[in-house]
């Protein structure tokens, strides 16, 4: 695991959830995170812009759990993701709510709306480059207020440092 220690705890009796991963400051997060999930036996799915799904990259991304979406169309991503939960017996849908690898105080709220509408828990995952540790921190059920949910997740992930700490959660 390239010197990383992964917390082996995986929530029991969770077959569908929204995974929230942070902080997201580098393309290496995908590589290390994917290895960690492989180690944990979790097969996350990731919604990725369809432009990246060209041969051979598309085959690799699909093999790693990528789901291509056309972000240029007026798609209702919340309904699309909720349908994915309804169509699958097991689904771990991964999001990096910062929406970018740069510092962003205004997180995307889609993960919350998807979890709330699909009635699935939010599983908070972390990567801490300073200690080279990562894993699943905790499970929460979406509360009624999106901002409260985001602040709760931020309060947990603030303790982890990204590869580029100045671009992470402050």
Query: Each residue of 97-114: pLDDT tens digit?
Result: 988 888 888 898 999 999
| 75, part of any domain | yes
For residue range 7-16, what is the model confidence (pLDDT) as tens digits? 999 999 999 9
| 141, part of any domain | no
Whole-Å CA distances, 117 to 19, 76, 113, 135, 142 = 15, 13, 6, 25, 9
Instruction: List Cβ neighbours of 18 (8 Å cut-off, separation of 6 or more).
Output: 93, 95, 111, 114, 115, 118, 120, 121, 122, 123
| 54, part of any domain | yes
What domain count does the chain have? Answer: 1
CATH classification at residue 70: 3.40.1010
Note the pLDDT of residue 131: 97
Region 76-85 average pLDDT: 93
| 134, part of any domain | no
pLDDT value at 58 more than 80: yes
Note the pLDDT of residue 120: 98
Q: Which DSSP symbol is given to 102? A: S
| 106, part of any domain | yes
Q: Which DSSP symbol is given to 158? A: T
Region 133-147 average pLDDT: 95
Predicted confidence band of residue 170 (pLDDT cuts 50, 70, 90): low
Range of the domain at 29: 5-129+149-167
Query: Per-residue b/e over 17-37, b at no fewer than 16 CB within 10 Å?
Result: bbbbbbbbbbeebbebbeebb
Predicted confidence band of residue 74 (pLDDT cuts 50, 70, 90): confident
How high is the mean pLDDT of the chain?
92
| 33, part of any domain | yes
| 38, part of any domain | yes
| 65, part of any domain | yes
pTM: 0.91
């Amino acid at each position: 695991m390239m010197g990383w220690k992964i917390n082996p705890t995986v929530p029991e009796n969770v077959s569908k959830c929204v995974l929230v991963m942070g902080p997201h400051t580098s393309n290496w997060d995908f590589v290390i995170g994917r290895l960690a999930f492989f180690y944990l036996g979790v097969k996350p799915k990731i919604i990725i812009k369809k432009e990246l799904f060209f041969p051979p990259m598309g085959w690799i991304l699909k093999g790693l759990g990528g789901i291509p979406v056309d972000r240029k169309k007026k798609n209702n991503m919340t309904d699309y993701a909720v349908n994915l939960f309804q169509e699958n017996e097991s689904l771990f849908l991964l999001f990096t709510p910062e929406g970018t690898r740069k510092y962003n105080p205004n997180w995307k709220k889609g993960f919350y709306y998807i979890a709330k509408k699909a009635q699935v828990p939010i599983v908070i995952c972390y990567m801490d480059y300073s200690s080279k540790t990562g894993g699943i921190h905790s499970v929460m059920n979406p509360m009624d207020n999106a901002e409260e949910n985001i602040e709760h997740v931020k309060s947990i992930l603030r303790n982890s440092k990204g590869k580029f700490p100045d671009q992470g959660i402050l």
